Amino acid sequence: MELLPHRPDLDSVDPDLDLSAEIKRLRAEKKAIILAHYYQEPAVQDLADFVGDSLQLAIEARKAKADVILFCGVHFMAETAKILNPNSIVVLPDMDAGCSLADRCHAEIFREWLKDYPDHVVISYINCSAGVKALSDIICTSANAVSVVNSVPADKKIVFAPDRHLGHWVSVQTGRGMALYPGFCIVHEQFTPRRVAAMKVQSPEAKLIVHPECDISISAKADFVGSTAAMLNFIAKDTGKTFLIGTEPGIIYQMKKLRPDAEFLPIPADSGRNGSLCPYMKLNTLEKVYLALRDMKPEIVLDEALRQRALKPMEAMLLLR
């Protein structure tokens, strides 16, 4: 069967291959570094040179001196790496590893939507395409969204895109009213107060720690709200023994390493399906990581003029950090 040009050729992988050893060999041969997000499967996280949240990964990508950045995350993250480091070849194990926030906010639709908000400062969450970044004044991540919003002079009006839940939470933290683009994450939107309440009955002592992509009805009740890296910092220092985790459960792998004495209970999706796994993040597998390094594809390619326009709001964010 003929494959679409960007689909990994899984049939070409020798089933007897020691994938981890081959990936390490190819990484050295190609002068590559492997960056991975906390939602990647444990075997992928273990192979990475650096595991982090979106902000940390962007910073690592920018300073990388490698010929190749193999980005084990989703498309907008790999594209951000290319925006910040155009001299490295950036490959993503599966080009279909999108993001519901980025994929549902097309640049052309966003451009139209912005016409209703002239004279507003445009703050976009890093979970968006290069096209949307290029239409923004400043980018934020979940780690620095509050500081980014606070950096905007009080007399300026703000639009925040594309995550309405993160926008709502930041608005509560900062007291700034903002026009919110109606996007959401299909993973975090699955968590409901009903599920959390049921878990609290089972584990009344457990602390609720959540990502700000959750609905405000969840984050308002949480003991801690923060980016994936901030959640890890929180549990590392906290004295609690049981935590309810309101984000993609891939992060629990690192949580257990930091706190082997504690228990981490993922909040299940309310739909009953395994909705708390990010279907995009989980497209990357060891086999595809191997193929991406072996074949140097799929590669992130960006129009240079677009890259330059998307770089500006990224730099504005990195200057604030």
Angle at alpha carbon of residue 211, lines to 152 and 270, rounded to 5°: 135
As a whole number of angstroms, the distance between CA 93 and CA 86 comes to 18
Which lies closer to ligand SF4 via its Cβ, residue 146 or residue 278?
278
Contacts (Cβ under 8 Å, ≥6 apart) of 101? 125, 127, 128, 162, 163, 183, 184, 185, 213
Q: Which residue do the tokens 């981490």 mark?
A: 264
Q: Which residues within the stretch 223-252 sit at the binding site for ligand 13P (CB under 6 A)? A: 227-228
Instruction: With beta carbons less than 8 A apart as the criterion, state whether 211 and 231 touch.
Output: yes
Which lies closer to ligand SF4 via its Cβ, residue 249 or residue 298?
249
Tell which one of 100, 171, 219, 285 touches ligand SF4 (CB under 6 A): 100
For every residue of 241-274, DSSP letters joined together read SEEEEES-GGGHHHHHHH-TTSEEEEPPPTTSSS
Q: How far is the CB of 140 from ligand 13P (least distance, A)?
A: 10
As a whole number of angstroms, the distance between CA 302 and CA 116 comes to 29
Tokens of 220: 């308002």
Which lies closer to ligand SF4 via its Cβ, residue 19 or residue 78?
78
The verdict on 40 binding ligand 13P (CB under 6 A) reads no
Count CB atoms within 10 A of the CB of residue 10: 12
As a whole number of angstroms, the distance between CA 290 and CA 163 comes to 33
Which lies closer to ligand 13P via its Cβ, residue 58 or residue 206?
58
The verdict on 100 binding ligand 13P (CB under 6 A) reads no
Which listed option, ligand SF4, ligand 13P, none, makes contact with residue 88 (CB within 5 to 8 Å by class)?
Answer: none
Q: How far is the CB of 53 from ligand 13P (least distance, A)?
A: 3
Which lies closer to ligand 13P via its Cβ, residue 185 or residue 222?
185
Which lies closer to ligand SF4 via its Cβ, residue 171 or residue 227?
227
Q: Which residues within the stretch 104-163 sit at the binding site for ligand 13P (CB under 6 A)? A: 127, 141-142
Tell which one of 43, 186, 262, 283 touches ligand SF4 (CB under 6 A): 186
The verdict on 72 binding ligand SF4 (CB under 6 A) reads no
The verdict on 45 binding ligand 13P (CB under 6 A) reads no
Give the Å distances, CA to CA, from 300 to 34, 40, 193, 292. 15, 19, 39, 12
Binding site for ligand 13P (CB under 6 A): 53-54, 127, 141-142, 185, 211, 213, 227-228
Binding site for ligand SF4 (CB under 6 A): 74, 99-101, 127, 185-187, 213, 248, 278, 280-281
